[in-house]
Structure 1
Amino acid sequence: MTQPGSTPPRPRRAAGCLQSLVVLAVMLGLAYGASKVFGDDSSKSSSSSSSSASDGKGGSWEVGDCGGPDPDNKPDGYRAFDCDESGATFKALEIKPASIMPNAIQCPAGTDLIIQVSRVFGSGDDKKAGGIPTNTVCGRNLSGDHPGDAGAGGGQLVEGDCVTSTAKEIACASAGSDAFKVLALVKEKEECPAATTEPMQLMMAMGRPYDVICGGKA
């Protein structure tokens, strides 16, 4: 995971404030490859990403808080913004505990990016040395671009998404005849709904709440 940058946090605002610097860093486990025969992580989606946030002075993220790209920490830096500021690009949908296992973070449908908030100590380049994870933010874009929506082809895998026969997530609008609709995400094949035609057994992943994709007609 990319380490937090060194940009100072923004001043505290009265309510629901954010004092965090956000640094984008892709994590594993936003979607998962099936292990029927393949054995590779072929369903990992490139249109969604997970990120790390530096919690500079102890300020905490709350549902409804916003952030966006940090112009002083390009190309991957993000920071907190008031939602009505021009730099804001996403809003926090849900706040979850931090986890060292990316697969254990399950955000709600509609999540476009995942942000791990970390508390860092020191200043300047010292902040790039790492931080202590404190919580995780499930973020949704403020624009009309929502790869995390069910069927849109990005974000974490959710019911209503579409996948190929190798469990790679794709947009349902462009799905071919060999694609499948995700009818359910379960632990055992026996738990799949009756309409399932392609139960996909996934490779083991620590923390993931499901092991089988129940695929049906797309």
Structure 2
Amino acid sequence: MPERGTAGVHALPCAVLFSVLCAGVLTGCHGPSGEGGVTDSAAAGARPSEAGAVFLAVGECSSFGAVDPTEVPCDSARAAARVVARQDGRASDGPPCPATTDFVLHISERRPSADEDGDGTVPRGYACMRGLRPPHPGDPGGGGGPRTIVGDCVREMGGGRVRETACDDGGGGGRVPRFKVVDAVADRADCPASTGLYVHLGGERPVGCARPL
């Protein structure tokens, strides 16, 4: 059970947060990285196309599908999500995605028949994706995305863990939100007195102050 703080009581240790990721085009979802910023999610090998000089560059779009999503024109009927940030290397080692990212597409190093610069490889990297149409799980209170941000809600999982859930999910099934993140601060002492749970957010203001619902 997460440990709670109340007015006049010293803050107690923070719960570990596990965000629920958008499953639309991903397989193999994992919990957040050590800094709480990005989840290194795996799509079973994103497949390059000849649509751009760089595979899935910022502003380009990917298709639907849990296996081998491709780069497609953003006005195509097949387009599902747009790249809002693109980094080389592993997501767990790189900069965090923008706050309202819906999901992270992991791009495995491959040697395809067509690649971005003609050297026969597409380097390992990751793309921060935003769906072209709602709902957006990365929005505040949306119940998903690779990051937990102010406005998100969480539910208790037991063992000192919590999981992000949609703030408007009151339909039961164990998904009812119990706390809402109302502020992000540098230190727990800066949280308001109404704080009932501390959630690790990462970044410059790593402490999420969550109040009971």
Aligned-residue RMSD, C-alpha = 3.7
2-side partners of 1:103 and 1:154: how far apart? 21
Contact 2:148 2:164 in 1 (8 A): yes
Aligned residue number for residue 197 of structure 1? 195
| Structure 1 residue 65 corresponds to structure 2 residue 47 | no
Secondary structure of the corresponding residue to residue 168 of structure 2: helix
Quick one: structure 1 residues 119 and 37, their matched pair in 2 at CA, closer, same or farther if it must change by over 3 Å? same
Match of 2:18 among 30, 43, 49: 43
Unaligned runs of 5+ in 1: 1-33, 125-129
> Could you state the TM-score of these two structures normalised by the residue count of structure 1?
0.59
1-side partners of 2:190 and 2:139: how far apart? 24
Question: How much does 1:195 deviate?
Answer: 5.3
2-side partners of 1:82 and 1:109: how far apart? 25
Q: Give, as a single letter, the amino acid of the residue that structure 1 aligns with 2:143.
A: G
Match of 2:132 among 123, 137, 142: 142
Contact 1:186 1:212 in 2 (8 A): yes
Alignment of 1:37-186 (within 5 A): 43-48=18-23, 50-51=41-42, 53=46, 59-69=54-64, 75-92=66-83, 94-102=84-92, 105-121=95-111, 132-134=123-125, 136-155=126-145, 156-165=147-156, 166-174=161-169, 179-186=178-185
Contact 1:61 1:95 in 2 (8 A): no
Question: How much does 1:67 deviate?
Answer: 0.9
Contact 1:69 1:77 in 2 (8 A): no
2-side partners of 1:56 and 1:88: how far apart? 13
2-side partners of 1:110 and 1:162: how far apart? 14
Percent identity, please: 25
Q: Give, as a single letter, the amino acid of the residue that structure 2 aligns with 1:200.
A: Y
Aligned residue number for residue 117 of structure 2? none
Contact 1:82 1:88 in 2 (8 A): yes
Structure whose residues are more often helix by fraction = 1
Question: How much does 1:37 deviate?
Answer: 7.1
Q: Give, as a single letter, the amino acid of the residue that structure 1 aligns with 2:67.
A: D
2-side partners of 1:112 and 1:178: how far apart? 19
Contact 1:68 1:89 in 2 (8 A): yes
1-side partners of 2:13 and 2:98: how far apart? 30
> Could you state the TM-score of these two structures normalised by the residue count of structure 2?
0.60
Secondary structure of the corresponding residue to residue 124 of structure 2: strand
Contact 1:189 1:201 in 2 (8 A): no
Secondary structure of the corresponding residue to residue 174 of structure 1: coil
